[in-house]
Each structure stands twice: as C-alpha cells, then as structure tokens.
C-alpha cells in the first residue's frame, strides 16, 4: 500500500513538473517568436523622440551654448572690409610698432584741402594718426585724429575742415612714431 500510495504521488509530481516545463518552454518559444517577428519593426521604428531625452535625439541635436546657427565654412575667411576710394593713402608700415623702424609712408604727405586720406594700418599693432607734437601738445588731436586703428584695419581722414598749413602728427600709442601732413 505504501508503494501504491507513493507511486501516484510521484507520477503526479513528475506530470506536474512536465506540465510546468512544457508551459515554461512554450512561453519562452512564444516570447522568442514575438521578438524575432518584430525585430525589424523594433529596429526601424524606435520609440518617438519625444519619449527620449533630448541629448539622445541625434537627428535634431539641441543647440549648445557655443553652437553656430548655420554651418560656417572653415576654409573661407571673412571678407575684409572694402577699402573706400580716397584721394591719397597714408600707410602705417608693417613693423612700425618697433621704435626706429619706418613708420608712416610717406613720412611727409602733401594733400589738397578737401582730399580724403585712407590711413591704412598694415602693421599688426594698433596705431593712430593724431595731429600734434605729442600728448603734451595743447593742440593734440584737435585738428585731425584717426583714433585707434587696429592692426590690419584702416580709417579715412577728411581734410575739408583742415586749414592750409603744415601739421606734425604722431601716434598716441607710440609717440616715437611721427610724420608730417601738409595741406595746400
Ligand atoms: Cu602706434
């Protein structure tokens, strides 16, 4: 009787075990089939980007603090400002910042009253063309003054309000740079 009693229990248990295994394996196979049949769909149709964090939306990255609104070519340089047509040109020479080097070209410039003068600073440093003998000159900058012209930039001096005469000028940044403007 004991074996008859035990045997059904064992058979029942093994049957239940087999049933459980079948159900488990069936569920695994079902899951695998669902995953495999939907694999392509999951790859090609990711969740909407609105459900993702913005930094993961690579197709439309949010602009960072240093982001440029439009792509900027790294090969094309910004076009230099167009130099205006003037009657004469006064060049501040490359290297003029070094004392003893040639500074203004021509060093003595003669113009007719009313002429416009392109003051072209081809040096790397800022300079000025300022009338006067120096900073202690009471007339310094009162007749004409370009104010600071940065390296590689230019300004236009008008002489329509300058009376005929001979005017020494200098650079307020480097007073050893001197020249003369003659207005006829
Ligand atoms: Cu200077």
Residues 49 and 119 in one domain: no
Residues 97 and 42 in one domain: no
Res 81: pLDDT: 77
- CA–centroid distance, 72 to ligand 1, in Å, is 34
Check which CATH number belongs to the domain holding 93 and give it. 2.60.40.420
Residues 115 and 167 in one domain: yes
CA distance 144 to 135: 14
Q: 74 in a domain, yes or no?
A: no
Residues 50 and 95 in one domain: no
- Least confident residue range of 20-29, 50-59, 70-79, 140-149: 50-59
Q: Which has the higher per-residue pLDDT, 173 or 29?
A: 173
Q: Which domain holds residue 164?
A: 88-183
- CA–centroid distance, 59 to ligand 1, in Å, is 51
The residue ranges of DSSP E strands in the chain, in sequence order, are 88-92, 104-105, 108-111, 116-121, 130-131, 154-158, 165-170, 178-183
Res 19: pLDDT: 73
- CA–centroid distance, 19 to ligand 1, in Å, is 97
Contact between residue 131 and residue 141 where contact means Cβ atoms under 8 Å apart? yes
For all residues of the chain together, what is the average pLDDT?
Answer: 79
Residues 118 and 178 in one domain: yes
Q: 155 in a domain, yes or no?
A: yes
């Amino acid at each position: 009787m004991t074996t008859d009693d035990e045997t059904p229990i064992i058979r029942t248990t093994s049957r239940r075990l087999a049933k459980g295994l079948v159900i488990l394996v069936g569920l695994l196979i079902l899951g695998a089939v669902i995953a495999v049949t939907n694999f392509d769909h999951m790859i090609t149709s990711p969740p909407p980007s609105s459900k993702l964090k913005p930094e993961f939306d690579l197709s439309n990255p949010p602009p960072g603090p240093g982001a440029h609104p439009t792509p900027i070519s790294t090969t094309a340089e910004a076009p230099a400002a167009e130099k205006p047509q003037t009657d004469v040109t006064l060049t501040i020479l490359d290297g003029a910042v070094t004392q003893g080097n040639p500074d203004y070209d021509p060093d003595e410039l003669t113009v007719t009253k009313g002429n416009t003068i392109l003051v072209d600073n081809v040096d790397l440093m800022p300079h000025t063309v300022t009338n006067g003998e120096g900073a202690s000159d009471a007339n310094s900058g009162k007749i004409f003054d370009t104010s600071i012209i940065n390296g590689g930039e230019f300004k236009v001096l008008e002489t329509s309000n300058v009376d005929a005469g001979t005017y020494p000028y200098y650079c307020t940044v480097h007073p050893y740079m001197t020249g003369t403007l003659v207005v006829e």
